[in-house]
Structure 1
Amino acid sequence: MINHTSLEDFYKRNSVALPDRIAREIGHFNIFETEKLFNKSDHTRVMPYSRRAYYKISWLRGTSRVEYADKVIDVKGNALLFATPRIPYNWVPENSDQTGMFCIFTADFFWSAKSGVLLDELPVFQPRYTPVFELSDEEVTEIEYIFRKMHKEMESDYKFKYDLLRTLVMELIHYGQKLQPILAISQTQNASERISSLFVELLERQFPLDSIHQRLMLRSAKDYADRLAVHVNHLNKVLKEATGTTTKQIINHRICQEAKIMLKHTDWNVQEIAYVLGFDDAAQFSNFFKKQTSFSPSSFRLEAVD
């Protein structure tokens, strides 16, 4: 399952204090040694990761596997993994011998520096790529040097250390982009189950919407397919086989459920509810709601009150 921890939850779960000196910076960066956080007595535990909170670059050393919605990548020795908030994955250790290092950072760690770097536009963070790169012994030496240098800089009092850390992260990114990805092995038997599970979880994570300043961002089958890094036709096929209904029907049903909650339990007007749920205007939302329930939003609200 995907872990949805925030940065604060990540530190708490791993019994690591959130350093004030980092929290006060615009953006966030930190680096860790896997062995110091990894529980050797429970090597089946998945390393915490949050799609919402941060990016992650990991030097993996040990036998493990990386699971995406429709593929599994086996790591037998050393590998470099790039993780983006846009694509869910699980890292699953196969034994207790897990070392290496990883760094986590937010998008504004770069953007706040006025570097002009948009992380999601870089190849290693694109949904169509498999960002797990096998490392030779020579490459491991080079990658370890970069991670160790970042770790050393984090402990320094150098005035411009965060500028240097950004440069080192970009060096890792460019290094990875020159490598060939490990072949992703299709796991047909379990892929459909993972896709269905991840889709439902991603759908549920869009809710609740607690403020009229929020807005539902994922509304179409393609929106979800892009986030899951699968083709929209494949997503439709998997969900149809699993549930007997289409992706669009599932999404619409969930949006309608949320609309009913808002009409019944908030004092938001129809225009506000329409906006929050991602509709262009109140008329479009009213037509949608009536098609789903046979009631107009206003008449449903009156029935709920009665």
Structure 2
Amino acid sequence: MPLPDSIETLQDFHHHVLTTRPSSTAAIVAAPGAGQCFVYSSCQSVPPLSPHQRRDFYKIYLLKAGTGRLHYASRSLEVAPPALIFSNPLVPYSVERDAGTHEAIYCSFNAEFWQSNGRPGQPSLAESPLFRPGGSPVLLLNELQLAVLEPLFQQLVAQAATDYVHRYEVIHNYVELILHEALKIDPPTAHFSSHNAAGRVASLFLELLTRQFPLLTPTHQLRLRTPHDYAAALAIHVNYLNRAVQAATGKTTTAHLAERLVQEATVLLQSSYWSVAEISDSLGFAYPTYFNRFFKKHTGLTPLQMRQAELLPA
């Protein structure tokens, strides 16, 4: 069955796996602070299509049995075991599985888990070619590579099931070993195009746009601001993104971005006590004057006029 829309955290996903996949072996590990890691193994028949749901965590899994396709932005990849598969919280994927039993060992974790156990100077996962948008999310393995990686994944399951007080550090070390082994493997280069790739790109763009909001604090900065930013995140050319969005929605990429920026700016002006300069900065404008011109162009009011109408101090 599809994952429920309520699944956004590792706790939700952990509960879902334990209640819907009784044959799975699962354990969730809480690290100091907000860090969490969820490890589970599964061997069972699964739904043929697993659409992406919003999940704000990274995932690595070792596919040992079962074939299918991984759809990612404008690309699709044939997946056959043994394979090592990565997903990141920025770019959504969907999995189309062929009939039959699928067996895999999974490790999901949030950014805080990686950061809280990492060494000083350790690069962020977003900088890793294994998770970076534009990289290849699938590594097809030979038998020798499988022989190296499978024991590491088995150790993840074993360590997660213990009550050792420092098990999150041990798991972090095994995850790091898996990433190093993966970096030694050349990624596959053969892709095939799906007939609805343009529609999928438009859908992913709109999802990424929605994820940027709401802005919760004045220090919260938009990660993606321009069509080029979104194209880079999806590893496609900006012209292709613009054509796909226009064809699927009838509006340009720029129009979607402007509409959402105006919507967020209006909410902040009417319901927050952030200064206009803070709102401007959070929305990615280099100077408040640029924000003033942009907002008036699309609403007919300056930010100050919008705020005064709600009787909030500027």
Give the TM-score, by structure 1 length.
Answer: 0.84
Q: Deviations over 1:38-63 (max 9, x none)?
A: 6x3x5135276645x22111112211
The corresponding residue for 1:120 is 126
Q: Deviations over 1:199-234 (max 9, x none)?
A: 111112222335445333321112212222222232
3-state SS of the aligned residue for 1:189?
coil
Kindly report the root-mean-square deviation, in angstroms, between the aligned alpha carbons of the 2 structures.
Answer: 3.0
1:201 to 192, 207, 221: 207
The answer to whether residue 36 in structure 2 is matched with residue 23 in structure 1 is no
3-state SS of the aligned residue for 1:14?
helix
CA drift of 1:190 comes to: 1.0
Greater percentage in helix: 1
3-state SS of the aligned residue for 1:123?
coil
The answer to whether residue 174 in structure 2 is matched with residue 171 in structure 1 is no
The corresponding residue for 2:41 is 33
Q: Deviations over 1:145-200 (max 9, x none)?
A: 21112211222344544333222212211222222323442325211000001111
Unaligned runs of 5+ in 2: 20-24
Quickly say closer, same or farther: Cα 1:256–1:48, change in 2 above 3 A: closer
Q: Deviations over 1:45-85 (max 9, x none)?
A: 5276645x221111122112111011111113321112222
Matches within 5 A, 1:104-119: 104-115=108-119, 116-118=121-123, 119=125
Quickly say closer, same or farther: Cα 1:47–1:255, change in 2 above 3 A: closer
User: Could you tell me which amino acid in structure 2 is paired with residue 163 of structure 1?
Assistant: E
Quickly say closer, same or farther: Cα 1:62–1:278, change in 2 above 3 A: same
The question of whether the paired residues in 1 share the 8 Å contact of 2:66 and 2:81 is answered with yes
User: Could you tell me which amino acid in structure 1 is paired with residue 62 of structure 2?
Assistant: W
3-state SS of the aligned residue for 1:204?
helix
3-state SS of the aligned residue for 1:195?
helix
Quickly say closer, same or farther: Cα 1:127–1:217, change in 2 above 3 A: closer
The corresponding residue for 2:226 is 220
The question of whether the paired residues in 1 share the 8 Å contact of 2:26 and 2:38 is answered with no
The question of whether the paired residues in 2 share the 8 Å contact of 1:196 and 1:239 is answered with yes
Q: Distance in 1 between matches of 2:140 and 2:81?
A: 8
Q: Deviations over 1:250-290 (max 9, x none)?
A: 20122112223333444544334323423344322111111
The answer to whether residue 74 in structure 2 is matched with residue 66 in structure 1 is no
Matches within 5 A, 1:274-285: 274-285=280-291
Q: Distance in 2 between matches of 1:68 and 1:48?
A: 10
Quickly say closer, same or farther: Cα 1:120–1:217, change in 2 above 3 A: closer
Quickly say closer, same or farther: Cα 1:11–1:163, change in 2 above 3 A: closer
Q: Distance in 1 between matches of 2:26 and 2:262?
A: 39
Q: Distance in 2 between matches of 1:103 and 1:123?
A: 18
Greater percentage in strand: 2
Quickly say closer, same or farther: Cα 1:15–1:287, change in 2 above 3 A: same
User: Could you tell me which amino acid in structure 1 is paired with residue 30 of structure 2?
Assistant: A
Q: Distance in 1 between matches of 2:203 and 2:170?
A: 40
Quickly say closer, same or farther: Cα 1:110–1:298, change in 2 above 3 A: closer
Unaligned runs of 5+ in 1: none
Q: Distance in 2 between matches of 1:290 and 1:224?
A: 25
Quickly say closer, same or farther: Cα 1:300–1:33, change in 2 above 3 A: same
3-state SS of the aligned residue for 2:130?
helix
Matches within 5 A, 1:232-271: 232-266=238-272, 268-271=274-277
Quickly say closer, same or farther: Cα 1:147–1:81, change in 2 above 3 A: same
The answer to whether residue 107 in structure 2 is matched with residue 99 in structure 1 is no
Q: Distance in 2 between matches of 1:14 and 1:143?
A: 23
